[in-house]
Each structure stands twice: as structure tokens, then as C-alpha cells.
Structure 1
Amino acid sequence: MNYEFTIIVPVYNEEDNLERVEKEFKKYFEIAAKPAKVLFVNDGSKDKSQELIEAICQRSNHFTYISFVENRGLSAAIKAGFDHVDTPLLGYIDSDLQTTPEDFNELLKHIEHYDLVTGVRANRKDSFVKNMSSTIANGIRRTFTHDGMDDTGCPLKVIKSDYAKRIPMFNGLHRFLPAMILLQEGKIVQIPVRHFPRIAGTAKFGFWNRLIGPLQDCFAYLWMKKKYINYSIAKKG
């Protein structure tokens, strides 16, 4: 079928969640606002995630995958997804399903007029420490980037693929996707989405790497902003 929307699902040791991911996406495909498929990016999982991913892909052509030789981190997984997408629109969601694929339809309502639509987790179902560290980290990022986004860490986004493919990624840049679209003079907007408790698997980020990592990455972003090359073609001959 003629897919218009590829949803990138990074996976690192999520064997307890993948069957639920398959079930939720099969439900979503029935109501998707645009013909959609899933691209799993296995970030060097050491559990049975790859075995489960391959079984899911064998059961349905709506699922595809790429698998890393070794663990390279979330930013690398997202970058690999950007590189391999072949549809005009792409999305991103975490495999822990603390957000739901159904809310992609809410984001897709706005993508015609924007180049990135990101979710804002309403009524977050995380611990006090996790919520507080994320609030502080988002405040730090806003101070550096002036992107106006309240929740850049929300794992539910829709981006026009040509913008995503022009993002020069580095480790930690998954936290700066709205700011990187602004560097391309693109338009961004945030839309409230639902949030759910993690019911299986373990979180991959702790208190300190939610705070220290983003602060370090802010300085890398400022360097990139100063050096970033952006141009538009006026004529070709």
C-alpha cells in the first residue's frame, strides 16, 4: 500500500512490552488518519527483543525493522530511523507505550500547517522525582533554545521527513528536535496528549542523566546553532 506516515519505535531491552506494542499498533492502523507503518530500531538489545521484533514483522507487512550491531543510544536510534524513512511524514513513539499511538491522529491534524508537531504530556503518570527533573530540564532547554516548548522530552512527535533528514544529529539531540526545526526556519507547535504509567520494563534514564546530560547538550546546541548551515534554492538551471 502507499504509506504516507512511518512511525519510528526505538527499542532497547523491551521484550516485556513488544507484544503490547504490536497489539496497540494493529488497533491504530484501523483508525490512522494517514496510511501508516512502523519502523522498529533495535538499539543493540541484549534480551529477546530482536526475536520478538522479527516475529511481529513476519506477521504483518505494516511492521519493518533495522537492528544495530551494538547499543548506541536513543539519539542514534532516532537518527537511524530518520535516515531509513521513505514516507513524507514520520512519527516517533517510545516502546514503553506511556503515550498511545491513537494520539498521533491529534498531532496529524496540525501537520499541514507546521513542520513539527510535538505532544505535551497532560497529567503525567510518573514519579514526583521524574516529573520534577523533567520540569527542570525543560526549563534549562527553553532558556538556551527559546523554542517555547514545555515538554521536548515527550515521546510522541510528527515531523515532515524532509526537515527531519536535515537535522545534524549528535548524542542527546533527541531532546532538541523542536529547536532544530526552528534552525531550519520551520514551524512548530505543541499539542496535549495522554500519558500512562509504565507497566512493564524499566526506565532507561535516571535523575542525573535527565539533568546533567541536557545541560551539557545545551552548550553543544549553542555551538551548532552558531555553525548551522541553512539555505534555500532560488533557481536551478
Structure 2
Amino acid sequence: MNAVHPVRCARQIEEIVPVISVVVPLHDEAASIAPLTAQILEILAGQAFELILVDDGSEDETRAELLRLARHEPRIRVLGHDRAAGQSAAIHSGARAARGRIVATLDGDGQNPPVNLPALIAPLMDPRRDPALALVAGQRIGRRDTLGRRLASRFANGLRGWLLGDRTRDTGCGLKAFDRAAYLALPYFNHQHRFLPALFLRDGWKIAHVHVTHAPRLAGRSKYTNLGRALVGITDLAGVAWLIRRRKRVTPHEIAAGAGA
């Protein structure tokens, strides 16, 4: 697990306590973040929310751009890692800093259109919801990736689903919403974000799925390769399978003092 210490780069907001915290992990996305942020603020206008932008050790002007945006928008908070630690680390840092009961995530490259956020958040906001529901996972339709990436993703998702039984066909989608407390109780490790459905199910929670749209990158290029994902994915998959097998759930019952005496 990468050890990083997020640095808070923007002022805390005390006036409004948010119900929703939107967390966006970012690495070298200086050209994408302004239009993406504008879309998020527009889509969630009227909601009690905060927007947490996590700079994962960027080497371009991402951090400067984030600070510029935060100066003009009080709902934006900026966190920074002193070095790149990966998407899972950025999401984890953002969730730990979040003040909302519900955390929603999306990638910082613009491929996860913010217009999908209300559909992800709604099931967790519904007062009639099943109290065991803790994760709503987006599943992409009409993917705007190359054929090679789509085929690699289909194979990886099929293998993962067969081995873990996570009932999810597209865990690589960055659009997710979850109960913050339940998420922070999950075992944390590098690349954790790819296995959230399996981990929530492992802890006895229920999950739901929502179809979401997909878009081309706003700028730049992907930081992942099919080979790179495959090499780390094999180890991660074996590790998560082990975690699931070793999980033992019990229901504690309070025993009154003197009982059995």
C-alpha cells in the first residue's frame, strides 16, 4: 500500500454541511479540470454538496489550476499528494476528508460525464431505500474507447466476475456513489477502486447498478495500458479472492452484566 500524506490546499468550508461529497482523482489533467468542474457544479446546483479535487502528484499545471478554481468557488476543496500514488489512493484520501454522508466519484479526464451523477446519488438519498444498500455502481454503455481496450476490459471483467461473484459487468467505471462510513471500513490497498462491488458484498452490504454514458477524453491521454492493467490485475484479483474467502461475519449480541452467573 502506498503511504501518502494528502496536503489540504484550499480553505475549509464551515457554512454549509454537505450531504454529498464528489471526489475527483487527478493526475496531469490541467487541461480537463476546468470544463469538468463547471459541469459538476451545474449538474448539482441546488444540492448540499462539496467538490473535492485530489491532485495525485501531478507533474503539469494541475495543482495550480485547481487552486485557481478553488479561489473562485467556495464549494471546491483541493487535496494534494506529495507524489503519485494511484487512483485508489486519491479516492481514499478524498473520502477520508469528505464531510458528506454520500461520496460520489468520477474520473478527472472527462470520460465520465457528470450528467450521470444524479442517477447514481438518488438511490442512496431515497428515504425508502434498503438500509443495507451502500454502493451504486455505474456501468458504461456506448463506450468511447478503442476496440483493444474494450476487448481487454470485457475479458478482465468476465474473469473477475467469475472468480469473485461481484455481480458487476463493469467495475472499471469511475462513476460510483457509496456510503462513506461503509467505504472507509473496507480493507484498503492499491487498486482497491477496481474491486469495490466485491468488497462491499464481502462486508454484507447490497449494491445497485445504473447505466451511465461515456465520452472521449477532454484532453491528454490515458495513463494506463492493457499490459500494465493485466500485470497488476492478476495479483490484485488473487488478493481480493483471498480476502473474500477469509472473511467471517458474526453478529454480536450485548450480554447483560451478571448474565449466566
The alignment status of 1:38 with 2:46, answered yes or no, reads no
In the other structure, the counterpart of 1:174 is 193
1:64 to 68, 77, 80: 77
In the other structure, the counterpart of 2:32 is 17
1:206 to 202, 205, 225: 225
1:125 counterpart SS class: coil
CA contact 2:50–2:76 (8 Å) conserved in 1? yes
Paired with 1:117 and 1:223, the residues of 2 have a C-alpha distance of 24
Distance of aligned partners of 1:231 and 1:11 in 2 relative to their CA distance in 1, 3 Å threshold = farther
Task: Name the % identity.
Answer: 25
Q: What is the CA-CA distance between 1:227 and the residue it aligns to?
A: 3.5
Paired with 2:182 and 2:139, the residues of 1 have a C-alpha distance of 21
The alignment status of 1:29 with 2:29, answered yes or no, reads no
1:54-203 equivalences in 2 (<5 Å): 54-111=67-124, 112-113=129-130, 114-203=133-222
**What letter matches 1:69 in structure 2?**
D
Paired with 1:85 and 1:232, the residues of 2 have a C-alpha distance of 29
Paired with 1:2 and 1:37, the residues of 2 have a C-alpha distance of 9
Deviation per CA, 1:43-87: give whole Å up to 9, x if none: 100100000111111111111011011111111111212221221
- Please tell me whether Structure 1 or Structure 2 has the larger radius of gyration of its CA atoms: 2
CA contact 1:134–1:210 (8 Å) conserved in 2? no
**What letter matches 2:213 in structure 1?**
R
Distance of aligned partners of 1:233 and 1:155 in 2 relative to their CA distance in 1, 3 Å threshold = same
Using structure 1 for the length normalisation, give the TM-score: 0.93
Using structure 2 for the length normalisation, give the TM-score: 0.85
Paired with 2:44 and 2:210, the residues of 1 have a C-alpha distance of 21
Paired with 1:229 and 1:203, the residues of 2 have a C-alpha distance of 38
Structure 1: give runs of 5+ residues left out of the alignment. Answer: none
Structure 2: give runs of 5+ residues left out of the alignment. Answer: 1-15, 257-261
In the other structure, the counterpart of 2:3 is none
Distance of aligned partners of 1:70 and 1:187 in 2 relative to their CA distance in 1, 3 Å threshold = same
Deviation per CA, 1:14-46: give whole Å up to 9, x if none: 011011122112212326xx4221111111001
Deviation per CA, 1:103-128: give whole Å up to 9, x if none: 11111222233210011101111110
Aligned length: 235
